[in-house]
Structure 1
Amino acid sequence: MSLLLINLAIVDTLILFIWTSQTAIPAFCNYFNGCLLYDRIKRAVWAYGWPFGTTVQLMGTWSIVSITFSRFVSVCWPSRAPHLNSRYQITMRTLAIHMGCIVFSSFRFAEVYIVYDKNGNMIYRKTVLASSVIYKYLYRIVLYYCITYLMPLSLLVYFTVRLCTNLRAMNKKRQEMTKKAKERSDLTFSLVVVVVVFIICQLPNPIRRLLYVIHGPFRMGCGYPNFYFSSWAVIFVNFNSACNFFIFCLCSPGFRRQLKQMVARRRRVQPLVSSTTVHGGSINTLSAQISGHL
């Protein structure tokens, strides 16, 4: 489980960095009447930065599914947990998710290409692939919605309902539970909260994608639906990535305890290193003094 949480933390950090930089930098440049460097590369950032962001966001979606599945196996299929939740299986699932997301999203990088006008300004043009009607409806609508929203959300709803059913049964016997069992129950509850927040925060994104397909990427100005839904979708995604860590901290005492132990271990290592350095320095000083006397 710790490996899955580390993977989720890395992906969430990447999502925050990518989407914040994609939205904050243009906003600051517009506020300060433009940035020369950003004006030169903004079309390249739009052409390749957004596909990269959607790739990482897809990794985050399926990482949530992987964590929920792992907890579902531990709670509902305990006999299969030693095999399905082994370190090897979790590592293979994580690698498969990342590779699958990269392969699926690789087509997004081939939708536009950059050309330069006579003044040296960047201009993006649609490729033949992006202009294809079959590609538009098959990949960008049907497959994209199935892989990004329909399949993961359906799995999350199923896993969450099963976990909630088990959680209610466990809460009835909470007084008889051991401390370790209570920590498992709290971890399950925190994961359910993470999934619920994730589903809520993902709701504006399908609407944004649908409007993007209908109106195209060029109607993004104030007054168009894309202008509002694009901003809210990014805000909700960033909020979701930022709050996962705090949800685990608030809802899972076991997670807080492990976090404190990890911080305490790091603090114990530092004095040992510094004391070794001091002793090493004193030994070197003493040897230098002896050499001087000799």
Structure 2
Amino acid sequence: MKVEPLLEFHFNYSKNRKNAGEVFHALGYFIDAYVEFGQIMADAIGDDLDFEIQLTSVTEGSIKVRFLKFFDAITSPDIFICDLKGEIGTLDQLQAVTAKQNKRLSETLKSNNKYSERIEPTINDLNVALTLEKWTLANKQLQQDESITIGDVDALPGNVISIDTSFRFTGSPKEMFKNFVGKHDGEEYVDVIRSYHRGDQYMWRFQNRKTRLEYNAPIKHKKWLQEFHEGIHQVNPVDCLLIHSSYEVWRINGKDTVTNAKVLEVIDVIKGSDYQHEIIERD
């Protein structure tokens, strides 16, 4: 069995600190936030992945805290943390960061034999904002001459992260997401209002049977989509689909509106619906 290298947080703290408890308090924020970032990555990839570390030792002087790693390397938040520079204060800035990480994760999954068949990852913006608050709180605990690095024990310098301790998240999740109703990520029954036969880059249009919310979304289930193009799956106006979808619901101008929608998997075609919608094919 392959033994993973230990993960090490190395805190070079100021010799002027008089309260040793403050050092461990600050380090605790970093460790908690690191695990939360890792779980965000794991959740973005699939609900069967977990992110966990287990304390093995603490070395005094400059503090070195070492952990056993109980997570897949693909969920490591290290690159995400490397990108935390300067300041994030607006929703647009936050979403630019998460969009970059979604793209990176997607490319990594496609090049990984173990995960190449996975659905496209979707990082939860709200969870990132809440974790960035904790990361900022950790940075604020540090004095000007203190530093902290994260990396595997005995890793080469180029593989060790030096945290930008001046990074600040200055936004307010409550303000950023005040119109945020919730996030859906799971199964639902939908009627097909509009379908496409020419590729997943085109938007289909669906309506949820229960909530009656309508939304546009691409189908990312490539195998099912290919079979649909080949005529193996027939979707008639009286049918509905059981799908696994993900999207956010925002209240805009007093109306619930779906954004960032994706159909991750088409589970079944349910024949003979009581509701009828015309399936419109477009070029």
Identify the TM-score tier after normalising by the shorter chain.
Answer: under 0.3
Q: Normalising to structure 2: TM-score of the pair?
A: 0.27
Query: What is the TM-score normalised by the length of structure 1?
Result: 0.26
Which structure shows the bigger proportion of residues in helix conformation?
A: 1
